[in-house]
């Protein structure tokens, strides 16, 4: 389900993930079901630990963190020659990506960086934190923060 159709149905991201879990159960898609259960488990862990109800924005940050963890695992598995484990992590990333909004293009990212730099009046690397503080909420779940950070450094050093 796309984000726009979820918004039209007034469905939260967490509700959509629950709905997809039921669909995976009905279709007996064990690998997809396992990943969706991992997502819901992580959401529940955050809700219990922090005594909050997770909103869509926080769910996106949880999903982004899960993807980052899997990318780190893939790098370690690949360096150890464990391609079968690397493939499992890659498949999980594919399922997690289904719940994230559409990725930002390079041009959109560059525009966000330029706008944030002009808004903050950033001139050097010491202004990096302020620039990233403006950009981070806008890229949540839509771009890799590490890559955006590299681009901001390049822009501030030029």
Element (H, E) at 143: none
Give residue limits of the domains in the chain: 3-97, 106-157
Residue 55 gets which letter from DSSP? -
- The 10 Å Cβ neighbour count of residue 133 is 11
Which positions ≥6 away from 73 have C-beta within 8 Å? 85, 86, 89
Residue of 115, 87, 80, 75 lying closest to 31 (CA atoms) = 87
pLDDT, tens digit (0-9, with 9 covering 90-100), for 69-91: 999 999 999 999 999 999 999 99
- The 10 Å Cβ neighbour count of residue 117 is 19
> Architecture of 106-157 per CATH?
Orthogonal Bundle (1.10)
141 vs 133: which has the higher pLDDT: 133
Token look-up 């922090």 returns 50
Contact 96, 66 (CB under 8 A): yes
Domains 3-97 and 106-157 share a fold: no
How far apart CA 15 and CA 65 sit, in angstroms, is 19
Which homologous superfamily is 3-97 in? Uncharacterised protein YqeY/AIM41, N-terminal domain (1.10.1510.10)
pLDDT recorded at residue 125: 84
User: What's the whole-number average pLDDT of the chain?
Assistant: 88
Give yes or no for residue 1 having a pLDDT over 70.
no
Quote the crossing angle between the two packed helices 30-50 and 13-27, to the nearest 10°: 150
Give the pLDDT band of residue 2 (cuts 50, 70, 90).
very low
Give the pLDDT band of residue 5 (cuts 50, 70, 90).
very low
pLDDT recorded at residue 9: 60
pLDDT, tens digit (0-9, with 9 covering 90-100), for 106-122: 899 889 989 988 888 88
The pTM (predicted TM-score) of the whole model is: 0.73
């Amino acid at each position: 389900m796309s984000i726009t159709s979820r918004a039209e149905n007034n469905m939260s991201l967490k509700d959509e993930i629950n709905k997809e879990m039921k669909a995976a159960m009905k279709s007996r898609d064990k690998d997809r079901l396992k990943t969706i259960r991992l997502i819901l488990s992580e959401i529940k862990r955050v809700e219990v630990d922090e005594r909050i109800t997770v909103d869509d924005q926080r769910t996106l940050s949880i999903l982004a963190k899960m993807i980052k963890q899997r990318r780190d695992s893939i790098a370690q598995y690949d360096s150890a020659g464990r391609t079968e484990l690397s493939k499992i992590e890659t498949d999980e990333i594919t399922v997690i990506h289904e719940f994230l909004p559409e990725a930002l293009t390079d041009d959109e990212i560059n525009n966000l960086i330029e706008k944030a730099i002009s808004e903050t009046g950033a001139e050097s690397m010491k202004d990096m934190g302020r620039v990233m503080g403006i950009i981070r909420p806008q890229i949540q779940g839509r771009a890799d923060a590490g890559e955006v950070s590299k681009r901001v450094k390049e822009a501030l050093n030029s």
